[in-house]
Structure 1
Amino acid sequence: MSRQPLKTGEKVLLIVSGIFVAIAVIGYVSLETYRIRSDKPVFVQRTFFDFSKEGERGSELYRKANCNACHRALRAGTSMGLILDGIGSKRSVAWLEGFLKDPESFYDGPTIDHGDPPKEAAYVASLPPEDLHLIAVFLSELRADAGSSVAKEPPPGKSEFIDGMIQMWAPDSWKEKYTDIRDRRPSEAAGGAGDD
Structure 2
Amino acid sequence: MDWEARTRAALCAARGVAHLHAAHGLAHGDIKSSNLLLRPDPDAAALSDYCLHQLFPPAPARPGSGAGAGGGGYRAPELVDARRPTLASDVYALGVLLLELLTGRSPAHHAASGSLDGSGSGALDLPRWVQSVVREEWTAEVFDAELVRAGSGAAEEEMVALLQVAMACVSTAPDARPGAQDVVRMVEEVIGGGRTTTEESDGTRGASEEERSRGPTP
TM-score (normalizing by structure 1): 0.26
Higher alpha-carbon Rg: 1
